[in-house]
Amino acid sequence: MSIAYVPSETLANALGANEVAEALAARGHEVVRTGSRGLAWTEPMIEMDDVAYGPVTNIDELEAVRLGPVDALPGLAQQQRLIFGRCGGRDPFRYDAAALREWLKRPAADILADVEASGLRGRGGAGFPAHIKWRTVRDTPADKKYIVVNADEGDSGTFADRLIMEGDPFRLIEGMLIAGRATGADAGVVYLRSEYPLAAQTFEKAVAVAERMGLLQGFAIELFIGAGAYICGEETSLLESLEGKRGEVRAKPPVPAVAGLFGRPTLVHNVITLCAVPAILGMGGDAYAALGVGASTGTMTFQLAGNVRRGGLFELPFGLTARELIDDWGGGTLSGRPVGAAQVGGPLGAYLKGAELDAPLTYEALARLGAGVGHGGVVVFDDQVDFIEQARYAFAFCAHESCGKCTPCRIGAVRGKELVETLRASEQPAGELAIISDLCDVMEQASLCQMGGMTPIPVRSALSLPQGTQQ
Amino acid sequence: MPSDAPQIVRDICERWVGRIGAPISALREVAATLGAIEQAHMETVADVFNLSVAEVRGIVSFYSDLRTEAPGRRHIRLCQAEACQAVGARELTAAVQEKLGIALGETAADGSVSLEAVYCLGLCASGPSAMVDGRPLARATVRALFA
C-alpha cells in the first residue's frame, strides 16, 4: 500500500491533519508526517505516489479533492523554493548532511565572500545587508560570540518562520552553523514565540538529531521560548529578554554586532535570513544575486493572508507586485469583492491602495512609497476596509505592545489612538489630521526603536497622510 | 492550589538554573503549571535567581504569558490582528462576547470560561484564528468555537 505523506504543521493540524493521518494509518498505510507545502487553501493536503489531494476531510473521497501531480501543482510549480525546497512531502528528520559538511570545511573568508556577493539583506524587517553584520561580528575581538535567531514572528500575516521550523528545521540549523563558522561564534540561541509549540518540538528534535550525527562540533544550540511580548521581536528587546529581563529596548549604538547578548558580539538574524544562507552557498553568491531586482536580490518568502482565496507561502524572486501576488497567486479576495488595500510587512507596514498595489514588492520601490517589505507578509483587505479603524488599531496595538522605555512611543501611541477616535465625529477633520501628522513626525524621529518609529507608517497610509520625513 | 506550591515553584526554578533567560522560562512554567503566578511564587523565583522581588514583579508585569490570575476552566483566545480583522475577527469577537456575556480580557463570574485577545497565531491565511484550551482553530466561527 502506498506511503501517505501527511503534514504535521500547525495550520494543517488545526484543519484536521492529525485525524487524517490516524485514519490512513488505520487503513494500513504507512504514514509519514511532513512539513507543509504552504498552500493554505489545500490543507490538510496529503501526497501519495507523487499525487496531491486536498483539502482532505474524508479519506474515502480522495478523488474528489485530487489536486494532481505534486511537481505540477498550480501555485507551487512556478515558485523558486531555494529556502523551502525540502519543506513538505518528506520526513523532515531524515537528513542528508553531505552538503553541510562540505560548507563547514570552507574558510570563513570564503563564506563571507559568498554572503556579500549574494546581496542578502535581513528578512526580519529592517533589510540591512547581512554581510556587514557578519564582518562586524567576525572583526570584533571577544572571548565569546553568539548567533541569535529571531523567531519571535509576531507580525500578523506572517508564518514563514513557523513553516520552516516545523517543516525543515535542519535548514535553520545549517544557517546557524555556517554563520558560526564564518563569524567565529560558538553558541546559538533561537528566540521562539510561545504561540508556536509545534515549531519548538520539531526544532528541538532536529537539534538532537544533528547532535547525534556529530554536526554541531562544539557549537551549542539553545532554544528559548518567549513569554508573550510583540516587542521582543525588536532585536535589542529580544536580547534583554534572553538575559532574563523585561524586554525593554536598548539605545543603539552599540549595535548588537559589537555588543549584543551579555555584551558580546552577536549576529542577530531573522530565521529566514539564516535559512537563505545554505541556498547561497549551494548555488553561489553571484547566482543568488542574479535573482530579484536591483538591490533586492534573491527570493522572498511572501506570505499571503487575510481576505484572499488562496493564501499561503509563496517563495519567489523579488520583483512581482502586490496585485500580481493577490490576483495571480491568490485568486483575488475571499469575499469576491474588489481589493481595498494590502498591508505589507506586518502591523508596522503600510496599507497599499490603488496604484500603489502595482509597485514591485522590493526594498527600493516600497521605500519610495514610505512603505517596507518587512518580513514579507501581505494582508489583503477588500473594499469594505474601514481605514479610520485600521489607523486606530495601529496606534492601539503600539500602545498595547510598547515597552514603555521612550516617551514618543509610550505616550504618542495613546494620544494617537485618542486622536483617531475623535476623527470620525470631528467637524474639523483637517485639523485633527494635521495634529496626527505632527504626532507621527515626533514618533518617527524620536522613538528609540521601530515600534514607535514605524507605527506612523500604517497610520499615515491608512489615512492617506503625506509620507514621513524619516523612515 | 496544591499546598506544596512553593516547593513546586522551587523545583521548577532549579531545573532552569544556568539556562539562558532562565527567570522568564521558570515563571512561564510556573504560570502554565499552577494557572497563575502568586506573590509567594515571585519571592521564590527572586530567591533562586538572586533577583529582587521588584525585578521579578517587573518581569511578570511585562510578559502576557506570565499570568497573575488563573484563566477560566475553558480558555478561549481570539486573534485580533490584521489578517484576522480582514476576514471578520471583529464581528466574531462581538458575537462571542455577546454569547458569553463577558468582554475580551474577562473571566465569567463562575470561572467557567475566560475570553482573551491574542495577537497572531500564525494561521493568517485561514482566519479568523482562535485557540481553545491550547488547541488552535482556523476559520473560526461561533459554531466551531462552541461545538
Q: What is the pLDDT of residues A387-417, one digit of tens each?
A: 999 999 999 999 999 999 999 999 999 999 9
Q: What is the pLDDT of residues A223-232, one digit of tens each?
A: 999 999 999 9
pLDDT of residue A125: 86
Provide the H-helix boundaries in A168-258.
169-183, 197-212, 235-242
Q: What is the dihedral of CA A386, A392, A398, A399, to 10 degrees?
A: -150
pLDDT of residue A356: 97
Secondary element (H or E) of residue B132 = strand B130-132
- A 126-185 → B contacts, CB under 8 A: 153-159, 162
pLDDT of residue A23: 98
Q: Which of B90, B120, B131, B137 to mutate to test the interface with A (most CBs of A within 10 A)?
A: B120
pLDDT of residue A471: 45
Q: Kindly give the pairing relationship between strand A350-352 and strand A377-382.
A: unpaired
Distance from C-alpha of A29 to C-alpha of A27, rounded to nearest angstrom: 6
pLDDT of residue A274: 98
pLDDT of residue B3: 59
Measured between beta carbons, the chain B residues lying within 8 angstroms of A222 are: 19-20
For residue B34, is pLDDT > 90? yes
Q: What is the pLDDT of residues A119-158, one digit of tens each?
A: 999 999 889 999 999 999 999 999 999 999 999 999 999 9
Q: Whose grid coordinates read 490603488?
A: A354
Asked if A244 lies within 8 A of B49 by C-beta distance, the reply is: yes
- The DSSP output letter for A318 is B
- A 223-262 → B contacts, CB under 8 A: 224-230, 241-247
Asked if A158 lies within 8 A of B122 by C-beta distance, the reply is: yes
pLDDT of residue B66: 98
φ, ψ for residue A98, nearest 5 deg: -55, -50
pLDDT of residue A379: 98
pLDDT of residue A115: 98
From A144, A149, A194, select the one nearest A173 (Cα to Cα): A149
- B 57-116 → A contacts, CB under 8 A: 58-59, 62-66, 79, 81-87
Q: Which ipTM value was assigned to this complex?
A: 0.96
Measured between beta carbons, the chain A residues lying within 8 angstroms of B50 are: none
Our CA-based measurement puts residue A91 at a distance from the nearest CA of chain B, in whole angstroms, of 22
Q: How many CB atoms sit inside 10 A of residue A225's CB?
A: 21
Helix, strand counts (H, E) of chain A? 18, 16
Which contacts qualify for A321-329: CB closer than 8 Å, 24 or more apart?
Answer: A321/A357, A321/A358, A321/A359, A321/A360, A321/A361, A322/A352, A322/A356, A322/A357, A322/A358, A322/A359, A322/A361, A322/A378, A323/A357, A323/A358, A325/A361, A325/A378, A326/A357, A326/A378, A326/A380, A329/A75, A329/A304
pLDDT of residue A469: 62
Q: What is the mean pLDDT of chain B?
A: 96
For residue B112, is pLDDT > 50? yes
For residue A447, is pLDDT > 70? yes
Using CB atoms, pick whichever of B23, B82, B135 lies closest to residue A306.
B82
